[in-house]
């Protein structure tokens, strides 16, 4: 099938006006001007999308889909005040509620044109549910608060696959490991988790320098996270006068890491992150919700870090709209072009997750993941049309792995219907716990 759009953005190559993508089964086979491709592949039907911009399925490099159910329930307060509330709310969620939450989150991703996530997973169920909904990506099994020797057991208990990074039955999904943060995973656990990811060749992610409280903990040993650190991060002796980035680098656990947030940085940190990490996930709206940040986007860009975008969870964001995240990044770093910011949620996001070989650009052989947006007005510059604030584009169609998942703006299957009652019950319980 040839899928046409007024503008096709392959990302890996120049935009094509009146372009088309040739999709055969699950993969992209060719990209170019419609006229040429129609001549070359006369047997393939053409589906036209006039007035639309087509680009690769977007990469939301940091999500917690299992927390989607908490949308709008937690207040916008500082990270140190928010974290205990989050813990209180999460404790009320049953396995059934968590699974419904992942399903709902997967739908919200598709509605935003996102087909790939860097998901913090709490069980094997999340990757199964997200995969059935049509998402690909890396599912980072989260560990915290266990002794280094307990890592294997903690992972096994939560269904971490025996032959990571591959998850049997799906080339679109990979497993990774994420010790939650330097203040909830002690130095021994951080080293053990990092060593295991290196040995298995799987991606490794960690929340880093997200808050003032985290910076204060490592600088002075005090602040809102001191109690959490003493309970969870076994073996940590905080207050050594260094930054969280420096602490992790001294431990040797930043190499190849996907570093999430990176808001509270000192000048040297930026160079360390550029030299060591696989990428940084900017989550500007989550940082603003928690009154932290913003991350020094221009400095990170100037240092040559690989930048990806994430929405984080609905416990600290308004929605899972990645284009809105991109608009905020542009506002924070006005020198970045729209094209540059779009790379963050396509090729660079895919590379940061270690999946650049299959996702993030429309190259032959890549997964057939496409997002199509209808633009309100005549499109002179397709990048600006996507990120401009006036006359925002609306999502019309999403394909993942060669299968249409959103048609005419509506998610195809499964429907929300079965989820509604579970979600509503879970929200009631969480609301009561927070009251």
Note the residues at the interface with Zn ion (CB under 5 A). Answer: 312
Least Å distance, CB 260 to Zn ion, is 6
Question: Which of residues 281 and 386 has its CB atom nearest to Zn ion in the complex?
Answer: 281
Least Å distance, CB 98 to Zn ion, is 15
Question: Within 10 A of 90 (CB to CB), how many other CB atoms are there?
Answer: 18
Least Å distance, CB 250 to Zn ion, is 23
Which residue has 């510059």 as its token pair? 381
Question: Which of residues 44 and 312 has its CB atom nearest to Zn ion in the complex?
Answer: 312
Neighbouring C-alpha atoms within 13 Å toward the C-beta of 377? 9
Q: Which residues contact 424 (CB under 8 A, 6 or more apart)?
A: none
Chain residue whose CB lies nearest Zn ion: 312
Question: Which of residues 312 and 325 has its CB atom nearest to Zn ion in the complex?
Answer: 312
Least Å distance, CB 286 to Zn ion, is 7
Distance set, CA 183 to CA 199, 221, 235, 248, 372 (Å)? 24, 11, 11, 11, 41
> What angle is formed at CA 252 by the lines to CA 301 and CA 163, rounded to 5 degrees?
95
Question: Which of residues 219 and 312 has its CB atom nearest to Zn ion in the complex?
Answer: 312
Least Å distance, CB 240 to Zn ion, is 25
Least Å distance, CB 262 to Zn ion, is 12
Least Å distance, CB 222 to Zn ion, is 24
Question: Which of residues 205 and 215 has its CB atom nearest to Zn ion in the complex?
Answer: 205
d(CA 72, CA 83): 15
Question: Which of residues 313 and 400 has its CB atom nearest to Zn ion in the complex?
Answer: 313
Contacts by 330-334 with C-beta closer than 8 Å and gap 24+? Answer: 330/387, 332/284, 332/294, 332/295, 332/297, 332/298, 333/297, 333/298, 333/301
Neighbouring C-alpha atoms within 13 Å toward the C-beta of 294? 16
d(CA 19, CA 241): 55
Question: Which of residues 312 and 369 has its CB atom nearest to Zn ion in the complex?
Answer: 312
Residue 11 is given by DSSP the state: S
């Amino acid at each position: 099938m040839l899928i046409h759009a007024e503008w096709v953005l392959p990302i890996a190559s120049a935009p094509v006006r009146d372009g088309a993508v040739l999709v055969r089964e699950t993969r992209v086979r060719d990209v170019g001007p419609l006229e040429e491709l129609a001549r070359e592949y006369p047997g393939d039907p053409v589906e036209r999308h006039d007035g639309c911009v087509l680009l690769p399925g977007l990469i939301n490099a940091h999500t917690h889909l299992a927390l989607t159910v908490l949308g709008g329930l937690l207040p916008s307060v500082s990270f140190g005040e928010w974290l205990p509330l989050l813990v209180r709310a999460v404790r009320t969620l049953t396995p059934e509620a968590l699974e419904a939450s992942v399903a709902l989150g997967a739908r919200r991703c598709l509605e935003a044109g996102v087909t790939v996530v860097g998901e913090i997973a709490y069980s094997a169920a999340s990757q199964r549910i997200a995969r059935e909904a049509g998402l690909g990506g890396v599912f980072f099994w989260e560990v915290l608060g266990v002794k280094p020797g307990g890592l294997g057991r903690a992972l096994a208990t939560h269904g971490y696959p025996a032959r990571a990074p591959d998850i049997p039955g799906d080339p679109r999904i990979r497993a990774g490991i994420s010790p939650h943060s330097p203040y909830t995973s002690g130095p021994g656990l951080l080293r053990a988790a990092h060593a295991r990811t290196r040995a298995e060749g799987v991606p490794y992610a960690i929340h880093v320098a997200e808050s003032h409280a985290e910076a204060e903990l490592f600088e002075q040993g005090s602040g809102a996270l001191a109690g959490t650190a003493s309970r969870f991060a076994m073996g940590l002796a905080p207050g050594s006068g260094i930054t969280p980035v420096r602490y992790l680098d001294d431990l040797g656990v930043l190499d190849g890491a996907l570093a999430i947030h990176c808001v509270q940085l000192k000048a040297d940190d930026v160079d360390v992150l550029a030299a060591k990490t696989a990428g940084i996930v900017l989550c500007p709206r989550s940082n603003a919700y928690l009154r932290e940040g913003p991350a020094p986007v221009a400095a990170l860009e100037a240092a040559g870090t690989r930048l990806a975008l994430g929405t984080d969870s609905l416990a600290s964001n308004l929605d899972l709209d990645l284009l809105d995240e991109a608009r905020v990044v542009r506002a924070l770093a006005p020198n970045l072009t729209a094209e540059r910011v779009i790379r963050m949620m396509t090729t660079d996001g895919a590379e940061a997750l270690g999946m650049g070989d299959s996702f993030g650009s429309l190259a032959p052989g890549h997964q057939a993941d496409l997002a199509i947006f209808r633009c309100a007005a005549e499109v002179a510059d397709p990048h600006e049309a996507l990120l401009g604030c006036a006359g925002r584009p609306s999502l019309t169609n999403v394909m993942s792995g060669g299968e249409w998942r959103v048609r005419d703006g509506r998610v195809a299957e499964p429907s929300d219907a079965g989820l509604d009652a579970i979600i509503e019950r879970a929200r009631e319980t969480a609301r009561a716990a927070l009251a």
